[in-house]
Amino acid sequence: MPGNDYINQVREIIRLFLKSKKILKMYPSNNPMCLSITDDCFVRFTEFFDFNEKLSLKIGQNDIYYDSETVYSNTEKEDNLALFLFKDGLREITFKRGLSREDMYEFLRIMSFDFSRDAVDDDIVTLLWEKDFQNIQYVVDEITLSDEEDYEARAVKEIEEKCADEESLLKAYEDTLNNGAMVKEFEMATLTDKDMRDLAGEFEKDALDKTEKLIEILFEMFLLSEKEEDFNDLARSFAGMIEYVLGMEDIDTATVILLRLNHLKDAKSISEEIRNCSKNILINISTEKTINLLGNILDGSRKIEDKKVEDFVKCLDVRAIPHLVLILGELKKIHSRKLIVEALVILGKKNIASLTEGLNDSRWYVVRNIIYVLRKIGDRQAVDQLLKTIRHGDARVRKEVIRALGELKGAGAIPALRNCLDDPDFQIESAALTELGNIGSDAVKRILLKRISGSGFAARDFEVKKKYFEIISKWKDKDVYDLMAGIIGKKTFFDRTRNYENRACAAYCLGLIGSREYLPLLEKYRNDGNRLFNESVTEAIRRIGHEK
C-alpha cells in the first residue's frame, strides 16, 4: 500500500479521536453513539494493522506527526488534541497490533475527559498508567507545559515593583518630621487570613530549622556512642523523630534520615555496633504506623516528588510489605496507588513470599495490583502462588494473572493457560491465546493445532476462530501449513457457512505467515464463489506480495 494511503488512514484515525472526545463526553457508555464511534476507531486500527505492526504518533505542542508527516495541526487553545496530550507531558503514543476493542474504548474514554472541569484527580499520563494497556505504549517528558507555571513568580515581581523601597519610606518619614506634623493616634489593624498564613509559615520554618539541628545532634551522638544503653535510647529517638516529621508531612526530612541510616548500615569504616544499630532502626520503623503516615502524605494536598518516595521505600525493611499492601487498598488517589505499587516492586524483590500473601486479599483490585507487581519483578518462584488465582471470581484479576504467567513462563504456566481457553468469557480466552503465543513452544503449538482440528471448533464464532488462526501463524512450519492446506481445500454439503469461515481463517493464517511458497495454493481459490472466503484469499495474496 502506498505511503500516502497510510498517511490518510492515520489522519482518519485522528479525526475519529476528535469525534470520540465529543461523543463520549456527551453520552453514557452504553449509548449506541459511544458503541458506534468505538467500533469505527477499532475498524480503522484493524485495517492499518493489516500491513503494519504498530502506529506511532509523535506529539508536538500544536501538531501530531506520523512518520515525519503532519497528520494534525491546530494553533487554537480550545479543542486542540495535540495540546491536550502535550501539556500533560506526552511526547509519543504507540498503538501495536493486537489492540483490543476493550482497550480501544478505555483509551477513548480517557481522551474524552476534560481535566479542568471533570471530577478527575489525576492527569492523562496517570490514567494511562493505571490501565496498563498491553498494546498502547507512550513516552512522557517529565517537564510539562503549563500556562500558569510562572504565575507566582510574576505576581511576586509585580507586587515588589509596586511597593516603596526602604529609602523612600525613610525620606517620607523625615519629611513629615521636618514639616512639624504631629503624630496622631491610630487604630491597630486586624490580621487578615493571609497574614495568619504568612505567620504560620514562619513558625513552621522556624520549627524546621530546629528539627534539622536536632537531627544533626542525634547523628553526632550516635557516631560517638559506645554503650548498648546509648544505642537503645538513640534508636528510640530516631524512631520518634521519623514519626514526628512524617506527621508534619515532611517526607523530605524523613528520607534524609533514612538514607543516612541506610548508608551507615553498610559502611565498612565504622564500628559493627553502629552498623547493627542502624539496621535495627530501619527494621523497627518499617511498621504499620510509619506506612500509614506515608499514606496520609501521599493522599494529602502537598505535591510530593516521586523520587523522594522511592528513596524512602528503598531504605525500609521487608517487614513493611504487608502494611504497604494494606494501604494499597485504602488510598484514594490513583497516583498514590501507583507509587505504592512501585514501592512493592522495590521491596518485593527481597521477599517474594511476603508479597504473595497479598494474593489472599478480599479486594479484587488489591489482588490485581499484587499480580502486576509480581509480573514486574519477574521472579518465577511466584508462579505457584499465581496459579492459585487463575480461577479468581473477577475477570480483571484473571486477565492480569494470565499476562503474568505468559511473561514468567514458569512450570505449570502452559497447562493453566490451556485451561483458560475454556473460560466462557472470550476476553479471558483471547488473553490466554495471546500469552500462549508469546511462550511459543512446541507444546503450545500442539495444543492449538489440536483445538483447531477438534470436532466442535467449526461451530465457534468467527472472531474466536480467527484469533486462534492468528496465534498459530507464529509457527511458520510444515505442521501448520499442512493443517491450513487441508482446511482450505475442504468442501462439504453440510454446514457450508461454518466451513467457509474455517477456510477463510486458514487463508488469513497463511497470509500472516507470509511465505511465497503458499501463493500457488491461494491462487487456486482466488475466484471462489463465497464472498468471505474469496476476500480472505485475495487479502492473503496481497499481504504476501506486500511483504516481499
Q: Tell me whether residue 467 is in a domain.
A: yes
- Whether 543 contacts 514, CB under 8 Å: yes
pLDDT of residue 2: 46
Amino acid in the structure at residue 46: T
Confidence at residue 448, expressed as pLDDT on a 0 to 100 scale: 96
For 176-203, the DSSP string reads: HHHTTPPPPP-PPPPPPHHHHHHHHHHH
The CA distance from 530 to 532, in Å, is: 6
One domain for residues 299 and 218: yes
Selection from 360, 283, 369 nearest residue 331 by Cα? 369
Is 135 in the same domain as 216? Answer: no
Nearest to 122 by CA among 88, 163, 146: 88
502 domain residue, yes or no:
yes
Kindly tell me the burial class for residue 154, based on how many C-beta atoms sit within 10 Å of its own C-beta (0-12, 13-18, 19 or more). Answer: exposed
Q: Take residue 138 and report the three cell numbers written for it.
A: 507512550
Residue 390 lies in a domain: no
Flag whether the pTM goes above 0.85.
no
Residues 180-214: tens digit of each pLDDT: 544 444 344 444 555 545 544 554 555 555 778 88
The reply to whether 111 and 220 lie within a common domain is no
Question: Do both 205 and 283 map to the same domain?
Answer: yes
pLDDT, residue 485, reads 94
Give the residue from 414, 361, 360, 362 showing the smallest Cα distance to 383.
414
In a domain, 455, yes or no: no
Which pLDDT score is estimated for 215? 86
Domain count, the chain: 3
> What pLDDT score was predicted for residue 185?
47
pLDDT value of residue 472: 96
Contacts of 151 (CB under 8 A, 6+ apart): none
Same domain, 257 and 118: no
Given 350, 381, 401, the domain boundary residue is 350
110, 128 contact by CB (below 8 A): yes
Main-chain phi, psi angles of 272, to 5 degrees: -65, -35
Q: Which residues pair with 70 in a beta bridge?
A: 65
The greatest distance separating any two alpha carbons of the chain, rounded to the nearest whole angstrom, comes to 120
Assigned domain for 295 exists: yes
Are 78 and 218 found together in one domain?
no
For residue 251, give its domain range: 201-350
Give pLDDT, residue 471: 96
Write out the H or E segment, with its range, that includes residue 71: strand 69-73
State the sign of the Cα–Cα–Cα–Cα dihedral 477, 480, 486, 491: negative
Q: Is 134 found in the same domain as 256? A: no
Q: How far apart are CA 168 and CA 272, in angstroms?
A: 63
Task: Identify the CATH number of the domain in which residue 482 sits.
Answer: 1.25.10
Conformational region of residue 300, where left means phi above 0, alpha means psi within -120 to 50, and beta covers everything else = beta
| Residue 238, all three cell numbers | 530516631
Q: Are residues 337 and 247 in the same domain?
A: yes
Residues 126, 213 within the same domain: no
Residues 210 and 335 in one domain: yes
Query: Which residue, 350, 368, 401, sits at the end of a domain?
Result: 350
The domain boundary, picked from 306, 334, 350, lies at 350
Enumerate the β-bridge partners of residue 136: 95
Q: Is residue 235 part of a domain?
A: yes
C-alpha cell belonging to residue 88: 500533560
Q: Please state, as a whole number, how many other Cβ atoms lie within 10 Å of the Cβ of residue 182.
A: 5
Domain annotation covers residue 324? yes
How confident is the model at residue 361, as a pLDDT?
A: 93
Same domain for 241 and 132: no
| Residue segments in the chain with a per-residue pLDDT below the cut of 50 | 1-2, 145-149, 151-152, 155-156, 159, 162-164, 166, 169, 173, 176-177, 181-191, 196, 199-200, 203
User: What is the rounded CA–CA span in Å between residue 16 and residue 95?
Assistant: 15
Specify if 355 maps to a domain.
no
54 DSSP β-pair partners: 96
